[in-house]
């Protein structure tokens, strides 16, 4: 019986089926068994290695609140990370088609299209401007089709104008001398309270610990990248502050070169932070630093994404509750304040609600934290403006303009105007021009919305026109009084962070009333954007504004009133003169060269 060939054949078949494939090509186990490998599986098995459970935040489609998902669901795939793309490493529900915002990955595509703002604003004006003649209405309607999508050819305008950032090998950490200088002068009285507050989301002991860890190579690879972002970003901002106080041209040139190197090192390290990364205060600080860096470069989309990711880390760490209940440290307070203000700012610009937490700062926040030095008035005003922006955003998104009628919007508008009046009273002590521009931009948005309140449409039309003029005049004055690169940095921190409503409102008024003064102000704004070294978003905005300006000029010529296109020269700034016939005069403060509001 043992010699039965049929039994031997069945035994060999059983042996073949019991050979375990080792997934190599060719399969070593199959070769040892002397059989052919019939493997058809192309995907790899899940790893059976158990690891400590980590967590990551995701949005649930069934709840507006963020939920915590165990990391073990994707942990098996991470064992073979070299064989998968980033998208393959995540569950399908984890990465939306166009937005990685559900993770801490900040490199998703988020763009703000100025042409969309233009179309919405012009359409809004068409619905609410009274007494438009047929030819003027046709001009505004034609503008909707002319605006369209901006040509991609404008990207070529910035190639060759931007500073060459190929500086070779970038430093991982600033020199010991610079670190000592930073730790000594940061948050000192030398820079003023509002500059000192910029550095307070990373405390001096934390910054010192990061520096020592990098110098002595005591940090893990992930921590090393995070610390590199924080230290180099702080060094960049510190040197920029010193440059603004320095008069020696040669020293300024050297400091600018060093500052650029530290900025590039921080940005490079930011992109090398491994994902997934366990949420921590250090990661939160790195994302906030990165948001400031990309904001200064004009990359509003990436800066907004970094703040969005930072807010989600706040949720994961329960930082917002700790701050609101008086249980946070000083650097945690300032991390939360930065997330709160910048998130509201970006949401207000895009008119999309992507704030992951609904937290209103209490009026007694300073009483909860008797810290020294106290929070600067500059930052507290920005907090109040963020609250106003949040309320305005709820009006946009809740349908107050079309569904809830006039009464809710009227009461909300009155509340916001009272709030802005309170803010304005405190701004007399804040000598920061960008803050006044921010205030005026928010005021324009409030009055612009109140235009839909039909019983008050005439008075609000005049008010928001005056506010729009003040907003653009403030920006024009700041740009004309600044040197080239400072003006570009100023534009990145102002006009890119707020809606383009003011310019578009003036355009519609030019077509409706043939106001030559508004046309001159529009022309001055375009001239401000004609700077060398501007970022691509500024090129997009300039292209849009130039198209609108061309439409306005063509309308004047068609009416038989040629426009003299002479640039608006910087004057003594005691006043900004307008051609005869402009019904609004704008007064200026000669000491600050800034707009003095007249509400």
| Least confident span in 370-379, 396-405, 426-435 | 396-405
Q: State residue 104's pLDDT score.
A: 55
Q: What is the mean pLDDT of residues 90-119?
A: 46
Task: State the Cα–Cα distance between residues 567 and 550, nearest whole angstrom.
Answer: 15
Q: State residue 46's pLDDT score.
A: 42
For residue 403, which phi and psi values (nearest 5 degrees)?
Answer: -105, -35
Structure tokens at 268: 């490079």
The length of the chain in residues reads 599
> 149, exposed or middle or buried, with CB in 10 Å at 0-12, 13-18, 19+?
exposed
* Mean pLDDT value across the chain: 71
DSSP state of 106: -
- Write out pLDDT tens, residues 458-468: 555 668 889 99
For residue 67, which phi and psi values (nearest 5 degrees)?
Answer: -115, 160
| pLDDT of 254 higher than 70 | yes
Q: State residue 398's pLDDT score.
A: 60
DSSP state of 21: P
Task: State the Cα–Cα distance between residues 294 and 173, nearest whole angstrom.
Answer: 19
Q: What is the pTM of this model?
A: 0.71
Task: State the Cα–Cα distance between residues 314 and 319, nearest whole angstrom.
Answer: 5
| pLDDT of 394 higher than 80 | no
Higher confidence at residue 448 or residue 442?
442
Q: What is the mean pLDDT of residues 329-352?
A: 87
| Least confident span in 40-54, 324-338, 374-388 | 40-54
Q: State residue 498's pLDDT score.
A: 84
Range picked from 93-97, 188-192, 463-467 for highest mean pLDDT: 463-467
Burial 553-574 (b: 16+ CB within 10 A, else e): bebbeeeeeebeeeebeeeebe
Model confidence at 35, in pLDDT bands (50, 70, 90)? low
Taking alpha carbons only, the member of 193, 128, 119 closest to residue 149 is 119
Task: State the Cα–Cα distance between residues 314 and 200, nearest whole angstrom.
Answer: 17
Q: Are 94 and 83 contacting, i.e. CB atoms less than 8 angstroms apart?
A: no
Q: What is the mean pLDDT of residues 20-25?
A: 57
Model confidence at 93, in pLDDT bands (50, 70, 90)? very low
Q: What is the mean pLDDT of residues 249-260?
A: 90
Task: State the Cα–Cα distance between residues 469 and 505, nearest whole angstrom.
Answer: 9
Q: State residue 193's pLDDT score.
A: 75
Q: State residue 163's pLDDT score.
A: 40
Taking alpha carbons only, the member of 417, 474, 403, 408 closest to residue 448 is 417
Q: Are 296 and 493 contacting, i.e. CB atoms less than 8 angstroms apart?
A: yes
- Kindly state the percentage of the chain with pLDDT values over 90: 19
Q: What is the mean pLDDT of residues 400-427?
A: 70
Model confidence at 26, in pLDDT bands (50, 70, 90)? low
Phi-psi region of 34 (alpha: psi -120 to 50; beta: other; left: phi over 0): left
Burial 295-316 (b: 16+ CB within 10 A, else e): bbbbbbbbbbbbbbbbbbbbbb
| pLDDT of 279 higher than 80 | yes
Q: What is the mean pLDDT of residues 251-275?
A: 90
Model confidence at 265, in pLDDT bands (50, 70, 90)? very high
Higher confidence at residue 65 or residue 103?
103
Which helix or strand (DSSP H or E) is residue 140 part of? helix 134-147
Tokens 């003029």 -> residue: 469
| pLDDT of 72 higher than 90 | no
Task: State the Cα–Cα distance between residues 207 and 385, nearest whole angstrom.
Answer: 30
Model confidence at 306, in pLDDT bands (50, 70, 90)? very high
Taking alpha carbons only, the member of 491, 478, 485, 532 closest to residue 252 is 485
Task: State the Cα–Cα distance between residues 260 and 254, nearest whole angstrom.
Answer: 10
| pLDDT of 402 higher than 60 | no
Model confidence at 408, in pLDDT bands (50, 70, 90)? low
Higher confidence at residue 188 or residue 330?
330
Task: State the Cα–Cα distance between residues 310 and 242, nearest whole angstrom.
Answer: 28
Q: What is the DSSP string of 337-356?
A: HHHHHHHHHHHHHHT----S
- Write out pLDDT tens, residues 496-519: 888 888 898 899 889 888 899 999
| pLDDT of 577 higher than 90 | no
Q: What is the mean pLDDT of residues 313-339?
A: 90
| pLDDT of 218 higher than 60 | yes
Show the beta-strand stretches assigned E in 142-279. Answer: none
Count, in order, helices (H) and strands (E) of the chain.
24, 4
- Write out pLDDT tens, residues 541-551: 888 898 889 88
Q: State residue 21's pLDDT score.
A: 58
| SS3 at position 587 | strand
Helices (H), 433-500: 433-450, 457-480, 484-493
Pairing of strands 66-70, 55-59: antiparallel
Taking alpha carbons only, the member of 89, 78, 82 closest to residue 51 is 78
Q: State residue 454's pLDDT score.
A: 53
| Least confident span in 30-34, 38-42, 373-377, 448-452 | 38-42
Tokens 């100025």 -> residue: 114
Structure tokens at 300: 């509003």
Q: Which residues contact 454 (CB under 8 A, 6 or more apart)?
A: 406
Q: State residue 223's pLDDT score.
A: 92
| pLDDT of 528 higher than 60 | yes
Q: Are 514 and 466 contacting, i.e. CB atoms less than 8 angstroms apart?
A: no
Model confidence at 238, in pLDDT bands (50, 70, 90)? very high
Higher confidence at residue 37 or residue 489?
489
Q: Are 411 and 419 contacting, i.e. CB atoms less than 8 angstroms apart?
A: no
Q: Determine the straight-line distance between the first and last CA of the chain, rounded to whole angstroms.
A: 110
Q: State residue 512's pLDDT score.
A: 87
> 417, exposed or middle or buried, with CB in 10 Å at 0-12, 13-18, 19+?
middle
Q: State residue 395's pLDDT score.
A: 73
Model confidence at 228, in pLDDT bands (50, 70, 90)? very high
Higher confidence at residue 560 or residue 149?
560
């Amino acid at each position: 019986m043992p010699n039965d060939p049929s039994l031997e054949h069945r035994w060999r078949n059983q042996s073949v089926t019991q050979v375990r494939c080792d997934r190599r090509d060719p399969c070593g186990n199959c070769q040892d068994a002397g059989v052919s490998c019939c493997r058809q599986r192309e995907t790899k098995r899940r790893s059976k290695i158990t690891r400590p459970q980590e967590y990551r935040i995701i949005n649930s489609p069934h709840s507006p609140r963020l939920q915590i998902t165990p990391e073990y669901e994707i942990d098996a795939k991470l064992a073979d990370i070299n064989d998968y793309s980033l998208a393959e490493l995540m569950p399908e529900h984890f990465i939306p088609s166009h937005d990685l915002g559900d993770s801490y990955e900040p490199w998703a595509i988020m763009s703000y299209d100025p042409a969309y703002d233009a179309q919405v604003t012009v359409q809004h004006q068409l619905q609410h401007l009274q007494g438009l003649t047929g030819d003027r209405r046709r001009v505004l309607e034609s503008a909707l089709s002319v605006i369209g999508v901006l040509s991609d050819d404008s990207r070529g305008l910035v190639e060759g104008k931007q500073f060459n950032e190929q500086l070779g090998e970038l430093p991982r950490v600033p020199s010991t001398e610079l670190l000592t200088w930073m730790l000594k002068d940061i948050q000192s009285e030398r820079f003023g309270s509002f500059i000192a507050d910029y550095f307070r989301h990373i405390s001096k002991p934390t910054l010192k610990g990061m520096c020592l860890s990098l110098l002595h190579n005591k940090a893990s690879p992930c921590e090393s990248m995070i610390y590199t972002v924080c230290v180099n970003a702080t060094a960049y901002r510190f040197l920029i502050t010193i440059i603004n106080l320095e008069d020696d041209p040669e020293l300024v040139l050297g400091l600018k070169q060093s500052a650029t190197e530290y900025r590039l090192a921080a940005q490079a390290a930011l992109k090398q932070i491994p994902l997934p990364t366990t949420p921590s205060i250090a990661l939160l600080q790195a994302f906030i630093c990165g948001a400031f860096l990309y904001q200064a470069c004009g990359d509003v989309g990436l800066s907004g994404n970094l703040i969005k990711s930072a807010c989600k880390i706040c949720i994961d760490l329960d930082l917002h509750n700790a701050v609101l209940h008086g249980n946070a440290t000083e650097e945690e307070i300032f991390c939360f304040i930065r997330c709160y203000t910048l998130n509201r700012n970006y949401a207000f610009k895009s008119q999309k609600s992507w704030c992951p937490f609904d937290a209103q700062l209490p009026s007694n926040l300073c009483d909860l934290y008797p810290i020294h030095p106290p929070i600067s008035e500059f930052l507290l005003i920005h907090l109040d403006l963020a609250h106003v922006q949040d309320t305005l955003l709820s009006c946009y998104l809740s349908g107050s303009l079309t569904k809830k009628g006039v009464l809710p919007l009227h009461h909300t508008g009155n509340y916001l105007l009272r709030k802005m009046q309170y803010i304005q009273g405190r701004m007399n002590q804040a000598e920061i021009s960008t803050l006044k521009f921010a205030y005026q931009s928010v005021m324009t948005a409030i009055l612009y919305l109140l235009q839909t309140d039909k019983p008050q449409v005439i008075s609000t039309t005049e008010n928001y026109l005056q506010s729009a003029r003040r907003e653009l005049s403030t920006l024009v004055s700041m740009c004309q009084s600044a040197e080239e690169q400072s003006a570009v940095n100023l534009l990145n921190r102002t006009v890119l962070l707020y809606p383009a409503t003011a310019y578009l409102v003036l355009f519609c008024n030019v077509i409706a009333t043939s106001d030559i003064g508004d046309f001159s102000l529009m022309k001055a704004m375009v001239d401000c954007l004609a700077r060398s070294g501007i970022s691509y978003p500024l090129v997009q905005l300039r292209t849009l504004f130039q198209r609108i300006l061309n439409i306005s000029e063509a309308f004047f010529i068609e009416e038989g009133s040629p426009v003299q296109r002479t640039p608006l020269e910087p004057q003594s700034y005691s006043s900004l003169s307008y051609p005869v016939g402009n019904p609004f005069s704008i007064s200026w403060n000669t000491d600050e060269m800034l707009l003095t509001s007249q509400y």
